[in-house]
Amino acid sequence: DAAVARAKDLGAELLEADAAAAGAALEKAKMADRESQALVRAARQELEMRLKALGPLEDWAETSPQAKQSNSEVLRTKVRVAKLEEEVLTNQRRIREYEEKAVVQRSLSEVSKTVAACEEEAEKLTNSSKAWPKDRKPPSDEEKSLAAAQSQ
């Protein structure tokens, strides 16, 4: 329970982290997620092992009140483990979404920088084109610059 809660808290911190702390927050969230996955997997395996050792619940559940209580506890434990597994999946989904969002933000930043550079080059060419003679081709340096800007 504690490991899953910690992973959940770190996942929430990850969503609130600023760009400078995002890398460290992501690594912490991933480590906590791996730890919670391992613990929940171990809990599931232990539960399955104990259920297997008990045998079919239907056979002994009706024999005594104590057996009925044990059956009830087993069912509560199964439900709790299932909820923990669901929380782990939710944390994994949250981390994956954050990683995808970070990739998109990086790509968007690169595109934005490229667009800004192209706009700057276009402005420069526009200003220099005013000085070009109307009846001649543009100077070769500026023509190359125009071709480079168009290829971007």
Q: What is the pLDDT of residues 15-64, one digit of tens each?
A: 777 767 778 888 888 888 899 999 899 999 988 888 887 766 555 555 66
Residue 119 lies in a domain: no
pLDDT of residue 29: 86
Assigned domain for 42 exists: yes
- Domain extent, residue 91, equals 2-107
Number of domains in the chain: 1
On whether residue 142 sits in a domain, the answer given is: no
Domain membership of residue 114 (yes or no) is no
- What share of the chain in percent tops pLDDT 90? 13
Mean of the per-residue pLDDT values for the chain? 81
Q: What is the pLDDT of residue 11?
A: 75
Note whether residue 6 is domain-resident: yes
Residue whose C-alpha is closest to residue 121's, from 91, 94, 147? 147
Rounded distance, CA 112 to CA 107, Å? 8
What three-state secondary structure class fits 55? coil
**Alpha helix positions (H), 55-139:** 57-61, 65-129
pLDDT tier at 124, thresholds 50, 70, 90: confident
Domain-embedded: residue 13: yes
- Residue 85 is assigned to a structural domain of this protein: yes
* Between 123 and 131, the higher pLDDT residue: 123
CA 53 to chain centre: 39
Rounded Cα–Cα distance for residues 143 and 138 (Å): 6
